[in-house]
Amino acid sequence: MAKTDTILAIDIGADSVKLAEFSYPPGGKFVLEKFAFAEYGGDLKEEELLTALTDKLAAVLDEHHFTAKKVLISISGQSTFVRFVKLPPMGEKEDRVKQVVEYEAKQNVPFPIDEVVWDYQLISTGVENEIEVMFIVVKDTVVEELTNAIEKFGKEISVVDVAPVACYNAARANEVGGNECIMILNIGSKCSSLVFIDSGRFFVRPIPIAGHSITQQISKEFGIPFKDAEELKKKHGFVALGGAYEEPDSEVAATISKIVRNVMTRLHGELNRSINVYRSQEKGNKPVKLYLSGGSSVMAFTPRFFSDKLKIPVEYFNPFQVVSLPDHINREQLAEVAHMFSEVIGLGLRHITSCPIEISLIPERIKKMQEIRRKTPYFYASAASFVLCLALIYFSTGKQEKIDGKKVMLAKSIVESTEKLKDEVNNAGKKKDSLMSELRDAQNIISGRGNWINILNELQAKVPDNMWLISVAPGTGAGAAISAATDAPQEENKDKPMFPIFAKRGKTAAVDSGKVEWIDFEGYFFGATAEIDSFKKRLLTTSVFTEKPAELLTREFQPPKDEKNNFSTFKMSIKLKTSFNK
């Protein structure tokens, strides 16, 4: 970091809040300056949590004198919806990936998309050409209520993270799960989170079994209020050992330990199901170790219970290996709550380095308000500069007037010059458009100059020796051309040229459309009637005429009148493959 600054990290749980203030001196680890842990107390309803959080924050901030203004918060995984979706391979096209992610979000988010705050992160799966995206969604009202409660204390929210993600970032910073599959089980008050760290991969599954489940069972078993049951759990709670073992002297402690073991057994069952889901659906590796964290994980024999059940090593997660602890930190007090501060450490890392997973669930409205607040100092600076300029102008009006007059004259000169250049550009543009139009016309004429030559060449190549044409002209497909010349007796046409292309059209010619799409022609031939069919087949093999027999029309055919006279006449129309301008 270029300079020493401080931030306040706050992890908001279902029944407690954890705070830590970190400083960031240049060239070293980040330093824990202050920390605090406070419980709300009692079995609070959802609508009571916000009030309890606000009251507890006020007391903690006042008691510990947290001074950092910038705040990073994490919210419980219980309040969020996390979903993992595999995407098809799309290379490195970020725009395409973003479009697909937005589409998948609308399909997978179980709430109206305009009523939630959501973010996503692309997760490596270890499989080539496979992309997995993690969606994290929370209702915007939940985030706004929490951020508003914290902003009332003069704090500025910079990041809104989720507890399992913050825990994962802290684990990766502490080099947990580098080349093997490791699990972190955070046993909270109302919800437990199972995080898989598998060679850089991330997967999380919330489990609705936690400390409150134990307290509720104690309250039900002894018929006492929830608050008293919580005190009994803290005083006598431990996980009863399986098999033959000596029970404690206290009947209350023995009963509570069995209750704890029953709940932990249910939690173990959910762990097994989660592992099966991860290995079968996510194609993950087999976990080789389990770390424990969270307020309800410190009951005696909890690591031994899970180690016996899962047959893997189990120990508590220590996230403070990457944090410097100055002398004024009470290490004994910190050790009592260290198992609950992994999320807080993960938040602190977000300010000093790039973390493997970086999401933020700050609502758009709050982002805009923060942007306005960030610009406020610049506004005041601009206002002060404006006032100073007015004072300078007041005391130097005479001199400034001359300077401004010269500037005005110079500006007018520049404007006039610019206007002239603008007129010249406009005129040049019009001239260019006119020339381009002439160029296009010339190109059309040049490109079409060989059309009739190609047509006549193709006809000449297909006409047999005993046949000649007396008229070739543009047609419409409505009928063969009737040349004025063909109205004369046959004897009068004997000496006419074979292709009188430019002969005048007869009275039945179609109206000129400006496009040549059909060719009408007529002629004579000596020989059998089959000659005309052979001629038609050859016409369908040219490069200029159609290949479709239905577009070759015989409009008139006069076979020989008797066997001695095998002289025949015909009129035909055939469609061009490509039309052209006349």
CATH at 293: 3.30.420.40
Are 433 and 517 in the same domain? Answer: no
Are 434 and 481 in the same domain? Answer: no
d(CA 494, CA 498): 10
Residues of the domain holding 428: 396-447
d(CA 515, CA 580): 6
How many Cβ atoms sit within 10 Å of the Cβ of residue 251?
9
Cα within 13 Å of Cα(437), Cβ side: 6
Residues 6+ apart with CB under 8 A from 343: 11, 18, 74, 161, 163, 166, 167, 170
Are 407 and 520 in the same domain? Answer: no
Cβ–Cβ < 8 Å for 182, 95: no
pLDDT of residue 489: 38
d(CA 268, CA 307): 11
pLDDT of residue 57: 92
Pairing of strands 515-526, 567-581: antiparallel
Residue 62 included in any domain = no
Residue 345, token pair as written in the block: 């450490």
Are 428 and 503 in the same domain? Answer: no
Residue 20 included in any domain = no
Would you state the torsion angle of the CA atoms of residues 554, 558, 559, 561, taken in this order, to the nearest 10 degrees?
170
Give the pLDDT means over successive 10-residue stretches in the chain (582 positions).
76 91 84 92 78 90 92 88 78 67 76 83 72 85 89 91 94 87 93 90 91 92 90 89 71 90 94 93 91 91 93 94 92 91 94 88 78 74 75 72 84 89 89 87 75 88 88 76 38 42 41 78 83 87 90 80 73 89 76
Residue 491 included in any domain = yes
Instruction: Among 290, 317, 344, give the residue marking a domain's end.
Output: 317
How many Cβ atoms sit within 10 Å of the Cβ of residue 404?
13
At 520, is the secondary structure helix, strand, or coil?
strand
Are 440 and 455 in the same domain? Answer: no
Instruction: Among 272, 297, 317, give the residue marking a domain's end.
Output: 317
Are 541 and 458 in the same domain? Answer: yes
d(CA 171, CA 161): 15
Residue 132 included in any domain = no
**What phi and psi, each to the nearest 5 degrees, are found at residue 49?**
-65, -40
**Cα first-last separation, the chain:** 77
Are 284 and 405 in the same domain? Answer: no
Residue 505 included in any domain = yes
pLDDT of residue 437: 85
d(CA 193, CA 204): 7
Are 477 and 433 in the same domain? Answer: no
Task: Output the CA angle 31-32-37, nearest 5 degrees.
Answer: 165
Are 472 and 442 in the same domain? Answer: no
Number of structural domains the chain divides into: 3
pLDDT of residue 244: 57
Residue 264 included in any domain = yes
Instruction: Among 447, 474, 508, give the residue marking a domain's end.
Output: 447
Cβ–Cβ < 8 Å for 173, 105: no
What rounded mean pLDDT belongs to the chain?
A: 83
Residue 184 included in any domain = yes
Are 434 and 457 in the same domain? Answer: no
Pairing of strands 289-293, 181-187: parallel
d(CA 26, CA 87): 41
Residue 184, token pair as written in the block: 């972190």
- Is the whole-model pTM more than 0.75? no
Are 535 and 412 in the same domain? Answer: no
Are 434 and 507 in the same domain? Answer: no
